[in-house]
Structure formats: C-alpha cells, structure tokens
Amino acid sequence: MFIFKAFRAIDNEELCLEFLEGHWNVLKEYGVTKVTSARRDWISNPHVYVIVVIDAEEKRVVSGMRLHLAHEDYPLPMETAIAEVDKSIHCVVANYRENITGEIGGLWNSRSIAGYGIGIKFLIRCGIVLAEQLKMGTLLALCAEHTLGSCLDKGFEIEMGVGNSGKFNYPKIDLVATAAVIKDLVNLPLALAEEREEIFKLRKSLNCESVYSTSRGEMHIKYELEL
C-alpha cells in the first residue's frame, strides 16, 4: 500500500528532508545537478505544501511533489528558472496572483516504483485537489516532456505568454520544459472526462482508500490529503 500524505512544509521537517534526499538522488541519476525545484529553501517557506508518497511496507518516502503558493516575497520556482531567459514570467505570475495562484513542481519517483504511474498520473491529480482545497483560482506548472501530456489530460493548457510558445530549454540545453496553466480550477473544462471524474471524487473524499489496476498489477492507495 502507498500512502499519499499532504502537509504544509514548515509543519514536518522530517518528511521534507526525506523528500529532498529522494529528489536529489533521482536528479543525479539523470545527470541534472542544477534545478530550482530541488533547492532546499522551500522547507522554511510558509507558502509551500508537500505531498509525499510513503511505501507503507518499507516505511520510506518513494515519491513526492510540492505546491508553492505565489507570493511577492517568495518567487515561484518557475519564476526563478524562466526569468533567466524571459523576465516576462514575473508579469504573468503577478496577473494570475490576483486570484490566488501557485505552482506544482519538484515531482519525482524512485525507480523502485516505476510502472505504477504514481507521479505522472496520481500525484498530479492530488496536486490539483490540493490547489482547490487552498481556494486557488489558477494553477501553474513547468512540465518536462514526459509529464506534459498527463498535465494536459488533467486540464492544463500551454501558457503561450512566455518563452517560445511556452517552451524552454531547461534544466539542461538538451531538455525541453513547457509552461502550463489551469485557468479554471473549479470546473476543469479542458480535462479529459475520466480525469475530471477522478479529481472530483478526491475532492469529496480527501481522506480515503482506493484500489487501482496498473501495469504492475493492483495498487492500493490510502489518501491523506486533508490539510
């Protein structure tokens, strides 16, 4: 069984450090040593929320993702990353911030759970659920090539106002990242019907248990998403 646990970063330093260690280990496997989402200053940021995935049997964090609420004193990770090549990202975020916005990012999975779809499928759903719980109007993401499709399925659209039609070479010159946004978090009009249904179910039952079929067989998830 996997436990998806949501919390405010400043309320649980121990789990934040486990998240950080796991994230760094994954990045190093891919030869990435400089990426804004892997910095550790977010641990003391009062506007950051975290979702960790805990392997209940092994009692260790095997995956995770963060949600940063936008605040003028705490730039979003994507602002720091994109501003190096396009400073207009600050204006874009400022406009969305008027109706409360933020960014999901720092998504990682340990190789031991590959094939379950935990990050690319389930964690992104949970991030959207968390954003709605925080009364956000919009939600941003800087998507890697392998996560963009899943984000679009869940209601994101490409943010065309920055970069080369929303695209950047990041975090390395041979990797492409795409800025994306959900402009209607309440109704998710651009999401696939099945994704919208799953997200709405989680909104109604933030703390629940479900069993899913995956390429690796049945997967039991216990959600603890209520803040």
In the chain, domain spans:
2-224
pLDDT tens per residue, range 44-58: 999 999 999 999 998
What pLDDT does residue 35 have? 53
What pLDDT does residue 163 have? 78
Q: What is the pTM of this model?
A: 0.91
pLDDT tens per residue, range 111-127: 888 777 888 889 999 99
pLDDT tens per residue, range 12-42: 999 999 999 887 777 666 555 555 545 678 9
Residue 193 has pLDDT above 60, yes or no: yes
For the residues of the chain, what is the DSSP string, one character each?
-EEEEEEEGGG-HHHHHHHHHHHHHHHHHTT----GGG-SGGGG-TTEEEEEEEETTTTEEEEEEEEEEPBTTB--HHHHHHTTT-TTHHHHHHHHHTT--EEEEEEEE-GGGTTS-IIIIIIHHHHHHHHHHTT-S-EEEEEEHHHHHHHHHTT-EE-TTSTBTTEEE-SSTT-EEEEEEES-TTT-TTS-HHHHHHHHHHHH-SEEEEEEEETTEEEEEEEE---
Fold of domain 2-224: Aminopeptidase (3.40.630)
